[in-house]
Structure 1
Amino acid sequence: MLTIAVQSGHTGVVRPRTGPEASDIALFAFAAIAVWLVRRALRARFRSKAPPPGKD
């Protein structure tokens, strides 16, 4: 069983969490940038399809 744990990259020793890991911060940053890019793209898309002001 120990060889399976070593091969999988886990030593079997549990460390207490003291704060967010680097991967947590990177995932949050990636998600925030993705949301910003999608919102920007959707705004540009709907801005170009809007009728000119004054023409109903």
Structure 2
Amino acid sequence: METYRCTKCGYVYVPKTGDYTQDVAPNTPFENLPKTWVCPRCGALQKNFVRVE
């Protein structure tokens, strides 16, 4: 699973850890995040994330 970085604040979503702040279970791929999920650091929408190479 690939990681994604927020272009607004630099937060990195790591699928292995998920996002406990929004009840996203570990091992949840970025593509499977709920549509309502936003950056936990700055509130940016998913469209503001880019895949980390």
Which of the five TM-score ranges fits, normalised by the shorter chain? Answer: under 0.3
Which is higher, the Rg of structure 1 or of structure 2? 1
Question: What TM-score, normalized by structure 1, do the two folds share?
Answer: 0.17
Question: What TM-score, normalized by structure 2, do the two folds share?
Answer: 0.17
Higher normalized contact order (CA 8 Å, seq sep 6+, divided by chain length): 2
> Hey, which of these two has a bigger chunk of helix by percent?
1
> Hey, which of these two has a bigger chunk of strand by percent?
2
